[in-house]
């Protein structure tokens, strides 16, 4: 993975530092690039928020945005090991500060890139797109499940985004993800026969119902890291 794009430090209104500088990052453990995504050449980005204690340790990291669920998981595992410069209480310095960090996952330079999930329009995609993705997948000769194809990954991402936005319960999400996993092969077979139909029409009913409730969930606007 490339180095971090930067750290955008946000101090909450009640966490003023007076005339002193905020803590600096002194130890950075880079997130592990998910193996399957790296093999497929899938790139992405994550924005994570965390609290930093006065001894420099990190607690309560929360994903604000992730272009793929696996990037989010890798980030959460890594940032808990980050360390910032410690500070002493007093002179307006708080016990904790909030930090927001944007991370960029960049695959190797082989040029075999897959467009990011943010570029996939799930509602507009047809079975023809799925068939094209399958053909490209077979040409790369990568031994990975078809569930890793872009349309299926985008479906899972959209479902998880709906849970984060509290559009439905974790139990409903678990059922939909299970149904999607079980139906993957039948969706592929059906799409081979009906290339002009919309991809979402071939998804299990439980998945379609949650997607309809999560459809208005949008990724937050990206600000430039500093």
pLDDT of residue 111: 42
196 CB-near residues (< 8 Å, 6+ apart): 126, 127, 128
> Strands of 96-105's sheet, edge to edge?
8-9, 96-105, 44-53, 58-66
**Which pTM was predicted?**
0.53
pLDDT of residue 36: 78
pLDDT of residue 68: 84
How remote is the C-alpha of 38 from its chain's centroid?
A: 14
DSSP readout, 143-161? Answer: ---GGGSHHHHHHHHHHHH
- Beta-ladder partners of 84: 25
- The whole-number mean pLDDT for each consecutive block of 10 residues of the chain, a chain of 226 residues, reads 42 42 80 83 82 93 86 91 88 82 68 60 93 82 73 86 81 89 93 94 96 66 35
Provide the pairing of β-strand 83-84 with 96-105: unpaired
pLDDT of residue 79: 92
**H or E stretch at 188:** helix 170-193
pLDDT of residue 3: 41
Q: Could you give the domains of the chain?
A: 8-105 (3.30.2420.10), 120-214 (no CATH)
pLDDT of residue 21: 64
């Amino acid at each position: 993975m490339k180095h971090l794009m930067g750290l955008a430090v946000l101090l909450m209104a009640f966490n003023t530092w007076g005339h002193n500088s905020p803590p600096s990052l002194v130890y950075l453990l880079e997130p592990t690039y998910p193996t399957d995504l790296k093999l497929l050449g899938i790139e992405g980005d994550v924005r994570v928020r965390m609290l930093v204690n006065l001894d420099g340790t990190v607690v309560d990291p929360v994903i604000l945005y992730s272009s793929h669920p696996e990037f989010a998981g890798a980030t959460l595992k890594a940032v808990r090991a980050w360390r910032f410069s410690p500070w002493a209480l007093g002179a307006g310095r708080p016990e904790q500060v909030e930090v927001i960090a944007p991370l960029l996952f960049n695959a190797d330079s082989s040029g075999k890139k897959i467009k990011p999930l943010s570029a996939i329009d799930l509602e507009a995609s047809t079975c023809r797109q799925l068939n094209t993705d399958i053909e490209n997948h077979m040409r790369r000769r990568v031994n990975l499940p078809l569930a890793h194809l872009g349309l299926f990954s985008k479906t899972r991402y959209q479902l998880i985004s709906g849970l984060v936005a509290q559009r439905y319960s974790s139990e409903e999400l678990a059922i939909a993800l299970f149904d999607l996993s079980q139906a993957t092969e039948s969706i592929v077979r059906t799409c081979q026969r009906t290339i002009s139909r919309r991809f979402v029409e071939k998804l299990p009913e439980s998945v379609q119902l949650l997607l309809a409730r999560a459809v208005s969930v949008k990724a937050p606007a990206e600000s430039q890291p500093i």
